[in-house]
């Protein structure tokens, strides 16, 4: 039974009829460009073929009645004509409540609906299960009401919902690529202007995501700390964001900064340069140069930004031992656990799986999950 069939079965079990409409939005993996988004920099993510899917049928009243397969079919409801309150009993529904609130605040009329949700994006792995839920919710609610909202605006609505109603001060990358991703391509995103450019994934390359299953216990507090450190350096240089500081500027004023601030800034500034170069060499099929850039990115996250952990570093070394110069591997996501991403020739995938299976648990005591993905389309209605 595929994910759409599972979703249909869930909907029928709750409301006794097949749903009238289906919508989907994918998770994402970031190939390079880490912690650059909130510094107005550049990122190079792609949508992946794991997604959140919504089935929905309009109601005659203004209630949203929502259930999800990911929390054992729990049902929650709220009235669109009343102030929307957050829920402690069904905290997952706060993403839906937040998106509905932002749409209403933007004077977008909504209508009641029965909604069922399912997702196969691994939660807590840094693959944006929350962002694709927000984008999919925005798409479903707007289309059910006959309201024309662009995919880019749906991304901004999802980000606002997560910032203001869920309480996570995320950048725009996750929602933007979930909304606007393109099949077979990564997306170079300028996080200041929100301009995007499609970047072709090389023919014959596989995107391998390895979940370390190292619980990301520090990510929220340390994420906020890193953001504050970066913003402090930007203020020191009297610029809007670290995107406006060059390596030359940083080095010229190094003695004015403490060592930690200098290192944090150096990561962001050099990561922006690596990301722009990656967007140039990847469509040329230059996996060797991508490998160098991804290795430099990982070392910078490990040494300058200090967000990797031994389990993640172990996976990177194991994969690098398999692929050599034929591709790249690095930590991806906020840090302190989560996932590693590798861009590798497809014929190396089996050997990567074997290396992880034989050595990762032996070295760390953890078992990894491996997902072989392809760059996929962003949010859409499903016929």
Tens digits of residue pLDDT in 89-113: 999 999 999 999 999 999 999 999 9
List the one residue out of 197, 200, 178, 174 whose CA is nearest residue 290.
200
Whether 380 is in a domain gets the answer: no
Whether 379 is in a domain gets the answer: no
Q: Among 201, 226, 251, where does a domain finish?
A: 201
pTM, two decimal places? 0.93
- Residue 219: per-residue pLDDT: 64
Catalytic residue among 174, 244, 313, 369: 174
- Residue 222: per-residue pLDDT: 86
Tell me: do 118 and 216 sit in the same domain: no
Asked if residue 27 has pLDDT above 80, the reply is: yes
Q: What is the mean pLDDT of residues 354-358?
A: 97
Tell me: do 36 and 111 sit in the same domain: yes
Q: What is the mean pLDDT of residues 366-378?
A: 96
How many Å separate Cα 213 from the centre of its chain? 17
Q: Are 53 and 23 in contact (CB under 8 A)?
A: yes
What the block records as the tokens of 323 is 């692929």
- Residue 39: per-residue pLDDT: 95
List the one residue out of 114, 81, 113, 77 whose CA is nearest residue 97.
77
Tell me: do 275 and 365 sit in the same domain: yes
Average pLDDT, rounded, for the chain: 95
List the one residue out of 194, 172, 180, 167 whose CA is nearest residue 139.
180
H-run or E-run covering 294: helix 287-303
Whether 366 is in a domain gets the answer: yes
- Residue 32: per-residue pLDDT: 98
Asked if residue 151 has pLDDT above 90, the reply is: yes
Q: What is the mean pLDDT of residues 126-137?
A: 91
Tell me: do 310 and 174 sit in the same domain: no
- Count of domains in the chain? 2
CA angle, residues 288, 294, 297, in degrees to nearest 5 = 145
Q: What is the pLDDT confidence band of residue 187, given thresholds at 50, 70 and 90?
A: very high
Tell me: do 356 and 253 sit in the same domain: yes
Asked if residue 213 has pLDDT above 80, the reply is: yes
Q: At 126, phi and psi to the nearest 5?
A: 85, 25
List the one residue out of 288, 266, 38, 297 whose CA is nearest residue 172.
38
Q: What is the pLDDT confidence band of residue 60, given thresholds at 50, 70 and 90?
A: very high
- Residue 171: per-residue pLDDT: 81
Q: What is the mean pLDDT of residues 359-378?
A: 96
List the one residue out of 171, 168, 159, 111 whose CA is nearest residue 132.
159
Q: What is the pLDDT confidence band of residue 217, given thresholds at 50, 70 and 90?
A: low
Q: Among 155, 173, 201, where does a domain finish?
A: 201
List the one residue out of 165, 152, 156 whose CA is nearest residue 95.
165
User: Is residue 174 among the annotated active site residues?
Assistant: yes
**34 vs 220, higher pLDDT:** 34
Q: In b/e form, how buried is each residue of 287-317, taking b as 16+ CB within 10 angstroms?
A: bebbbbbbbbbbebbbebbebbbebbbbbbe
Most confident of 123-137, 202-216, 313-327: 313-327
Q: How many whole angstroms separate alpha carbon 242 and alpha carbon 168?
A: 21
Q: What is the mean pLDDT of residues 195-221?
A: 89
Tens digits of residue pLDDT in 227-238: 999 999 999 999
Q: How many whole angstroms separate alpha carbon 36 and alpha carbon 360?
A: 29
User: In DSSP terms, which residues pair with 117 in a beta bridge?
Assistant: 54, 68
- Residue 218: per-residue pLDDT: 60
What the block records as the tokens of 11 is 């909907």
Asked if residue 342 has pLDDT above 70, the reply is: yes
**Residue 319 lies in domain:** 205-373
Tell me: do 258 and 330 sit in the same domain: yes
Q: Among 201, 232, 259, where does a domain finish?
A: 201
């Amino acid at each position: 039974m595929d994910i759409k069939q599972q979703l249909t079965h869930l909907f029928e079990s709750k409301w006794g009829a097949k749903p009238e409409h289906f919508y989907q939005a994918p998770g994402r993996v970031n190939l390079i460009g880490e912690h650059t988004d909130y510094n107005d920099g550049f990122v190079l993510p792609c949508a992946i073929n794991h997604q959140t899917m919504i089935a929905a049928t309009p109601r005659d009243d203004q209630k949203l009645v929502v259930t999800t397969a990911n929390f054992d079919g729990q049902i929650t409801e709220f009235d669109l004509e009343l102030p929307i309150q957050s829920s402690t009993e069904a905290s997952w529904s706060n993403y839906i409540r937040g998106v509905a609130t932002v749409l209403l605040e933007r004077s977008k009329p909504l209508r009641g609906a029965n909604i069922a949700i399912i997702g196969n994006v691994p939660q807590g792995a840094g693959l944006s299960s929350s962002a694709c839920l927000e984008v999919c919710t925005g798409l479903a609610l707007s289309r059910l009401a006959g309201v024309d909202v662009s995919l880019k605006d749906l991304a901004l609505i999802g980000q606002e919902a997560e910032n203001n109603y869920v309480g996570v001060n995320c950048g725009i990358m996750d929602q933007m690529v979930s909304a606007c991703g393109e099949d077979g391509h990564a997306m170079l995103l300028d996080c200041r202007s929100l301009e995007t450019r499609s970047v072709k994934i090389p023919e014959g390359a596989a995107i391998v995501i390895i979940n370390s299953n190292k619980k990301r216990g520090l990510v929220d507090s340390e994420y906020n700390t890193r953001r504050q450190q970066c913003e402090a350096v930007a203020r020191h240089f009297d610029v809007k964001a670290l995107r406006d500081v060059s390596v030359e500027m940083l080095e010229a004023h190094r003695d004015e900064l403490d060592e930690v601030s200098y290192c944090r800034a150096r990561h962001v500034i050099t990561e922006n340069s690596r990301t722009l170069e990656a967007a140039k060499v990847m469509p040329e099929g230059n996996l060797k140069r991508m490998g160098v850039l991804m290795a430099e990115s990982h070392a910078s996250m490990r040494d300058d930004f200090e967000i990797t952990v031994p389990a993640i570093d172990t996976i990177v070394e194991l994969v690098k031992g398999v692929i050599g110069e034929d591709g790249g591997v690095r930590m991806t996501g906020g840090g302190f656990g989560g996932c590693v991403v590798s861009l590798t020739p497809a014929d190396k995938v089996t050997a990567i799986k074997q290396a992880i299976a034989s050595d990762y648990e032996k070295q760390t005591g953890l078992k990894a999950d491996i997902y072989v993905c392809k760059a996929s389309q962003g949010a859409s209605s499903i016929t």
